[in-house]
Amino acid sequence: MSELRTRPGAPTPPADPPAAARGTAHHGRLRLVLTRFARHRMAMTSLAVFVLTVLFAFLGPLLWPWDHTVHREILPNQPPSWEHPFGTTNAGHDVLGQLMRGTQQTLRVALTVSVLATAFGAVWGAVAGYYQGWVDAVMMRAVDVLMVVPLLVAVAAIGGNVRGGTTWWAVALIIALFSWTTIARVVRGVVLSLREQEFVEAARAAGASDARIILRHLLPHAAGPVIVAATLLVALAILLEASMSFLGFGIQAPDISLGLMIDNARTAAFTRPWLFYPPGLFIVLICLTINFIGDGLRDALDPRQTMVRR
Amino acid sequence: MLAYTVRRLLGTVPLLLAASLLTFLLVDLSGDPLADLRVQQPPVPAEVIEAEEERLYLDRSLPERYVLWLTGIGGDGDIGLLRGEFGPSVRGPDYDIGQALAERLGSTLRLVAAALLLALGLAVLTGVVSAVRQYSAVDYTLTFVGFLALAMPTFWLGALVKEAGVWANQQTGYTIFYTVGATSADTRGFTAGQLLADHLGHLVLPTLTLMLTGYAAWSRYQRTSMLEVLNSDYVRLARAKGLPNRVVLRRHALRTALIPLTTVAAVTVAGTVDGVILIETVFQWRGLGDFFVEAVKRSDAYALMGWLMLSGTAVVLANLAADLLYGVLDPRIRHE
């Protein structure tokens, strides 16, 4: 998937020297990354669409009169109309209201998973890579073992057993519990290659503690690959949450998520298409934009990547 | 090579042992298999619950239960993974978990094998075409399809494909597509040819959807590795020698470009296990995926543990196979 980065809007020089030269070194790097990201047309479009989706999910419910619950005033089973642009369900839900809430819950889960799993995985990988030896061996064997259990299987086995309604944060916690392993591997790789370099030695000679070296000197260097992996984790978490809900192990009614909406409309593709297509298309749209954003970030953060066509 | 294979095989033993502990804790700590029985109305007599606890070995401590589940020492002969016994089921003393798993293994393997082969073939083909025609309309289209496949929820596409099949059948009045199950409900009186056609007919739609999981990632990897190889010096040399393009692509470039795919394909096996669960649910395919969902819904602890060990073993063996295959494909790698 890595070539797409050089694709759109490519014929531009790699950097903007006057901009990069201004300010501190850190400032310059951030600016460089942003400039490079802004040149990635597909990623910028995706970012705009993603922001719109977030607004739709979190601001929409404040503006739209119907929420995701059953209302007696709503005529059940109606195709799209001016009053209900996405139609209504059998039980008397407004589908647009459901979509807003569903997208909201799905995004909440996915972003929480990404933050939790990235933080935990990064520290785990950094500690393993920094101390090496038996610490590394034990910690990375644990990662190997976790990776033996397929993700959906693990989260469904736990999620299916949680009685009395699964809330969105419980779903997020369960998914995060099993999805930090890739981040840990990425960070460990970076730390292993950095720990012998002079700046680490200098920090140690200056009396910095291990924790300080890991947090202030090593982890910032892993930021690039970690940000990319964290972005892709969002897409993964969205698909996982939807799969869990579809199997009946995720967020439960009366609350709603995009996966649950698909489950409810499973056989409606040809009879009541307004129930079937929107939640699926929303998932596709969100995952697609996130993958493109990840691709753009990969380009922007990788200094070896030239923006010139091969 | 043989010594290396044996060493790696032995290496999987501690990994599987650790996986068994994780599996056991995961399932055992996440819920009580008798939760439904305990809250049932009208209440079930205490003796019945006690008898069930004893039958399911729930009256023993956690470490005791783990050792029992693994070795079967001190049990009634119906438990112990190492003896090939998966343990008693909450579904009653007559339900044999091992037998149920064995019955469903065949139909799932059929589905997975068909989907993986199709996905690999298509991924290699489109990856190579994309790389050779880099930045052409074909490349952009295939790239977009790959991204779309990566973002697509399998079960949604599956439901769509299934309903489309049902719709097509209704429109034409014939059963063109089979949309439910692995075989027809009644296959008595079928000749061998009819039986084969029936099996293949039921495979079509689920295979097409399951294929997508692997295809999405693999086609992208294949494109990347093919591009890398095409830009390498030895391919340029092969062209400079005046070899026909066909020979350069097939004999020189593709062989090398296939190597990274073996590793990626093995890693995706875990993803395929996830896909199977969803696709079998959509198409009411009575295989291992369906078994898993049912086991979770019934809190059938030993059935779940057995299932997890089965899928775990499959994942470990797939990774091992990829490592060994790597050595065969890449002459630079020598396992001594």
- Do B228 and B80 share a structural domain? no
Rounded distance between C-alpha atoms, residue A256 and residue A251, angstroms: 7
Nearest CA in chain B to A309: B135
Q: What is the CATH number of the domain that holds A253?
A: 1.10.3720.10
The mean per-residue pLDDT over the stretch B305-334 comes to 82
Which among A3, A158, A287 has the least Cβ separation from residue B224? A3
* Assembly ipTM: 0.83
By residue range, what is the domain housing residue A288?
A: 37-73+83-301
Structure tokens at A168: 């969105």
Q: Do A259 and B153 touch (CB under 8 A)?
A: yes
**Residue A153: inside a domain:** yes
* pLDDT one-digit tens code per residue, B81-98: 787 778 788 787 788 888
Contacts B35 to A, Cβ<8 Å? 163
Q: Do A235 and B231 touch (CB under 8 A)?
A: no
> Per the structure, how many domains does chain A have?
1
The mean per-residue pLDDT over the stretch A193-216 comes to 86
**Residue A15: inside a domain:** no
Q: Which of B123-137, B169-183, B226-240 is predicted least confidently?
A: B169-183
> How much is the pLDDT for A115?
93
Start-to-end Cα distance in chain A? 16
**Residue A136: inside a domain:** yes
Contacts B15 to A, Cβ<8 Å? 141, 144-145, 148
Domain stops at, among B43, B64, B89: B89
Confidence check: pLDDT of B204 > 80 = yes
Q: Do B312 and A3 touch (CB under 8 A)?
A: no
The mean per-residue pLDDT over the stretch A21-43 comes to 72
> How much is the pLDDT for A307?
46
Q: Do A157 and B304 touch (CB under 8 A)?
A: yes
Place B168 in a pLDDT band, splitting at 50, 70 and 90.
confident
Which is more confident, B19 or A95?
Answer: B19
**Helix (H) or strand (E) run with residue B80 in it:** strand B79-80
* pLDDT one-digit tens code per residue, A119-132: 999 999 999 988 88
**Residue A257: inside a domain:** yes
Which is more confident, B70 or A176?
Answer: A176
Q: What is the CATH number of the domain that holds B163?
A: 1.10.3720.10
B56 to chain A, any CB pair closer than 8 A? The answer is no
Domain stops at, among B45, B70, B89: B89
- Partner A, chain B 16-55, Cβ-Cβ below 8 Å: 16, 18-19, 22-23, 26-27, 30-31, 35
**Residue B68: inside a domain:** yes
Q: Which of A61-70, A95-104, B194-203 is predicted least confidently?
A: A61-70
**Closest approach of chain A CAs to the CA of B192, in angstroms?**
33
Place A93 in a pLDDT band, splitting at 50, 70 and 90.
confident
Which residue matches tokens 């005791």? B64
- Do B163 and B232 share a structural domain? yes
With contact defined as beta carbons under 8 Å apart, do A118 and A179 qualify? no
**Residue A121: inside a domain:** yes
Please enumerate in sequence order all residues whose Cβ is within 8 A of that of A264, keeping only pairs 6 or more positions apart, or say none: A89, A275
> Per the structure, how many domains does chain B have?
2
Confidence check: pLDDT of A1 > 50 = no
- Do B131 and B199 share a structural domain? yes
- Do B79 and B160 share a structural domain? no
Domain stops at, among B89, B109, B135: B89
B148-182 CB burial, b ≥16 within 10 A, e <16: ebbbbbbbbbbbbbbbebbeeeeeeeeeebbbebb
**Closest approach of chain B CAs to the CA of A199, in angstroms?**
33
- Do B245 and B144 share a structural domain? yes
Contacts A45 to B, Cβ<8 Å? none
Q: Which of A170-179, B131-140, B192-201 is predicted least confidently?
A: B192-201
> How much is the pLDDT for A302?
67
- Do B110 and B61 share a structural domain? no
**Closest approach of chain B CAs to the CA of A17, in angstroms?**
29
Confidence check: pLDDT of A164 > 60 = no
Q: What is the mean pLDDT of chain A?
A: 79
- Do B147 and B39 share a structural domain? no
pTM: 0.83
**Residue A4: inside a domain:** no
- Partner B, chain A 209-248, Cβ-Cβ below 8 Å: 235, 239, 242-243, 246-248
Confidence check: pLDDT of B135 > 50 = yes
Rounded distance between C-alpha atoms, residue B19 and residue B43, angstroms: 38
Query: In chain B, pLDDT over 90 holds for what percent of residues?
Result: 3
How is A67-91 classified by DSSP, letter by letter?
A: -SS--TTSPTTPPP-SSSTT-B-TT
**Residue A268: inside a domain:** yes
* pLDDT one-digit tens code per residue, B257-287: 888 888 778 777 777 888 888 898 888 888 8
B229 to chain A, any CB pair closer than 8 A? The answer is no
- Do B189 and B132 share a structural domain? yes
Q: Where are the alpha helices (DSSP H) in chain B?
A: 2-30, 35-38, 46-55, 62-71, 97-132, 137-151, 154-172, 192-230, 233-240, 245-247, 255-257, 259-282, 288-297, 301-329
Q: What is the mean pLDDT of chain B?
A: 83
**Closest approach of chain B CAs to the CA of A216, in angstroms?**
33
Place A7 in a pLDDT band, splitting at 50, 70 and 90.
very low
Which is more confident, A65 or A35?
Answer: A35
> How much is the pLDDT for A124?
92
* pLDDT one-digit tens code per residue, A95-122: 788 888 889 989 999 999 999 999 999 9
**Residue B25: inside a domain:** no
**Residue B29: inside a domain:** no
- Do B156 and B72 share a structural domain? no
**Residue A30: inside a domain:** no
By residue range, what is the domain housing residue B214?
A: 100-334
**Closest approach of chain B CAs to the CA of A49, in angstroms?**
15
- Partner A, chain B 154-213, Cβ-Cβ below 8 Å: 154-157, 159-160, 163-164, 166-167
> How much is the pLDDT for A25?
55
**Closest approach of chain A CAs to the CA of B26, in angstroms?**
7
